Chains A and B, each alone.
Chain A
Amino acid sequence: MDAPRLEAARARIRRGQAAAAALAAAAREDPGLTRAGLTEVLRRYILEKFLLADDPPGTDELRELARQSLARSLRMAPELAALYDTSAGCSSAGSVDTKLALLLLAAQRDFRAHPDPARAVRARTVDELAGLLWASREP
């Protein structure tokens, strides 16, 4: 990949991460945030994290969102996929699983929530994950 395109890709990733963090911070500070509101914020947060905000896919399925994010990032800059993802290494995890695990880690940190990991990995949709985050928010 040529250097300008690589740098553009890096910048796009940084923008996505920053936008996601800002969304979570605003939600944390919002005293009027509702359960339904958290679902909407989380949806936008995930789209930013997954670099899907420019052209949001019509699905709320977490696994499908992760799959589309991977495909899109590989098209954008295959070399950079590891910059915001991680390689599976010897862990036997697939890329989609790893991406979802990283999302859960970031979401519980950014939204200051502590869902049971065993239940969190079984969340199927954005709304299910929002429910788990809502129920386990720090006071």
Chain B
Amino acid sequence: MIRKASEIQLKVLPVLFGMEHLYYYEGPCRLVDGEALQPGFDKIGNEMFWKGFLDNIQRYMPAGVEVLEPVRACRTDDWDNKEAMWETLAQAAAGADVAFLFSNLGVDDLAIEFGLRFAVPIVVCPTSSYSPTQVFSALKAKRPDAEVYAPMSWTRVPLLFTALRARKVLRNTRILLASRGSSTVSYASPDTFADQDRITRKFGVLFRHVSIHEVMDQMSPAVPGGNPTTPGRRTLDLTEEDRAEMERLADELLGGAQYADVERQYLLNSLAAYLTVKKHMDFADCNAFTAPCPDACSTRRMNEQKFTFCLTHSLLNEQGIPSACEFDANSALSMQALIAVSGQSPYMGNTSPLPYENGGFMPLAGLSEERKAALLADPENLYYMHHSVPHRCLRRPDAKEPYALNHFAYEQKFGAVLRYDFERDRGQVVTVCRFSPDGEKVLIGRGEVVGGDGYQMPNCRTTVIFRVKDQEDFYRKQLYVGNHCALVFGDYTRELSALAQVLGVEALLA
């Protein structure tokens, strides 16, 4: 099963602590007057507090949060603290990702004890009297590793829960890596996660591996006796249903393209790769994918089978399933982080500054001379990102933008690739993201699109050019994370910064 980020919900348990006075009396623990001093008032008063708390939860919870049935935990002025209450709370907490506590005068000790007893992260209601500072400080002193948050006001709550949900998405990310040689680092992306165990410990993401030779063997119907790499085994080879789906997708893609410069058979070959990969992801319960480019290319099998994985990445990405080229699991996870905080479907690619020096731009790869010439009118602080994995849902996850089909290989013209024209997006704000190879830092960049390039071109040439605030500052920070950045439309720098905070990752803001 492919469990997309959009299907992953953060389960939030409202925990309602309350105090009931059993008698009429006044003194330094009674801070009300009139009928509010009478027995019975607190039962109603607590419900009134909790109603306000629960109403605010409904109002301020971001998308992707499931609010669980609230659990009540009351005590009286006998200062009772019963194990039966904790058993109820333990049961409720077991099904939650986060506990959102309503505390108050007279029950803050219970909120603190909740944090000592249970491992679930705690958020303290921002308007519950003096509880945020009391509970946070006391709990941290008693249990320094307790995960407790105390937002200052309700308007700060959505950002925190967006970040906590995004962290859950990363924890539930399962990346399928189709490897040839090394199962961690390819020849083209040495800046990916070199130590996958460390990344698993840090983020919870798991890495699943499959031989790229087995995958490529399975891009055709089953043969008697099994495939060469797995003789005698039943494998996920192309079925009649797959072939019908390939034809349907080819019709759809060719029918909707602004232009198509790829033969139908080559398009079908690339679609065979897409469906084979998708079956493997489904089988391995993965929700992200990457495959090598140069390592696989040099097997000569892509040349023999006349396909590339570009279209696989594009079609997965437009469904909100991160898929990165060049065996870059780092890029796939960075895309997943963007998906989790934005709900958008990202792009990824080689990301470089475009330094303007001595009256011109440095001759970097991937950008046409015509485009460089056009950029000379306003050449400062430019960056560009290029690759061959754009898709139709870059602007909105639920609507397809105009696109074209081209080929990847210049001479033989195989390898179907989608084309998207970033020229249409001038003035759009973009957010750029990539983790460092050790997972300790994350680049969080903001830019504004100034144009695109490569819409009519084959190969790895779909380019988005954007202006950043300070090119050199951006570059110095990018040095710590690497090449393949992920990108979405919109400004999600606050959300990513909040995610970095709950992950314990240093945010490199640019």
A binds B: yes
Contact partner of A101 (CB less than 8 A), chosen from B33, B48, B128, B129, is B48
A98 x B36 contact (CB < 8 A): yes
Which A residues touch B34, using CB under 8 A?
82-86, 102
Q: Which of B16-50 contact A (CB under 8 A)?
A: 31-36, 38, 40-41, 43-50
Which B residues touch A102, using CB under 8 A?
34-36, 41
Known: A83-B34, A91-B104, A92-B49. A117 touches B129 (CB 8 A): no
B35 x A86 contact (CB < 8 A): yes
A92 x B47 contact (CB < 8 A): no
Tell me the smallest distance from the CB of B72 to a CB of chain A, in Å.
8
The answer to the question of A34 belonging to the interface, with a C-beta cut-off of 8 Å to chain B, is no
A87 x B127 contact (CB < 8 A): no
Cα(A90)–Cα(B108), bound, Å = 13
B44 x A104 contact (CB < 8 A): yes
The count of chain A contact residues (Cβ–Cβ below 8 Å) is 26
The size bracket of the interface on B is: 20 to 34
A89 x B31 contact (CB < 8 A): yes
B129 x A90 contact (CB < 8 A): yes
The answer to the question of A106 belonging to the interface, with a C-beta cut-off of 8 Å to chain B, is yes
Which B residues touch A93, using CB under 8 A?
45, 48-49, 52
Interface of A is mostly: helix
Tell me the smallest distance from the CB of B310 to a CB of chain A, in Å.
55
The answer to the question of B130 belonging to the interface, with a C-beta cut-off of 8 Å to chain A, is yes
Cα(A90)–Cα(B134), bound, Å = 14
The number of residue pairs between A and B whose CB atoms lie closer than 8 Å in the complex comes to 74
The answer to the question of B51 belonging to the interface, with a C-beta cut-off of 8 Å to chain A, is yes
Cα(A106)–Cα(B41), bound, Å = 9
The answer to the question of A122 belonging to the interface, with a C-beta cut-off of 8 Å to chain B, is yes
Which B residues touch A105, using CB under 8 A?
35, 38, 40-41, 44
Cα(A98)–Cα(B44), bound, Å = 10
B31 x A90 contact (CB < 8 A): yes
A92 x B35 contact (CB < 8 A): no
A118 x B104 contact (CB < 8 A): no
Closest to B37 in A: A86
Which A residues touch B129, using CB under 8 A?
90-92
Which A residues touch B48, using CB under 8 A?
93, 97-98, 100-101, 121
Known: A90-B129, A91-B129, A92-B129. A117 touches B47 (CB 8 A): yes
Q: Which of A19-57 contact B (CB under 8 A)?
A: none
Which A residues touch B43, using CB under 8 A?
117
A122 x B51 contact (CB < 8 A): yes
15 contacts between A and B (CB under 8 A): A84-B34, A86-B34, A86-B35, A86-B36, A91-B31, A91-B32, A91-B129, A92-B104, A94-B52, A102-B36, A102-B41, A104-B44, A105-B40, A118-B47, A118-B50
Residues of B within 8 A of A (CB): 31-36, 38, 40-41, 43-52, 104-105, 127-130
Residues of A within 8 A of B (CB): 82-87, 89-94, 97-98, 100-102, 104-106, 109, 117-118, 120-122
Q: A91-B32, A109-B40, A121-B44 are in contact. List 13 more A-B contacts (CB 8 A).
A: A82-B33, A85-B34, A86-B33, A86-B36, A89-B31, A91-B45, A91-B104, A101-B36, A102-B34, A102-B41, A118-B50, A121-B47, A121-B50
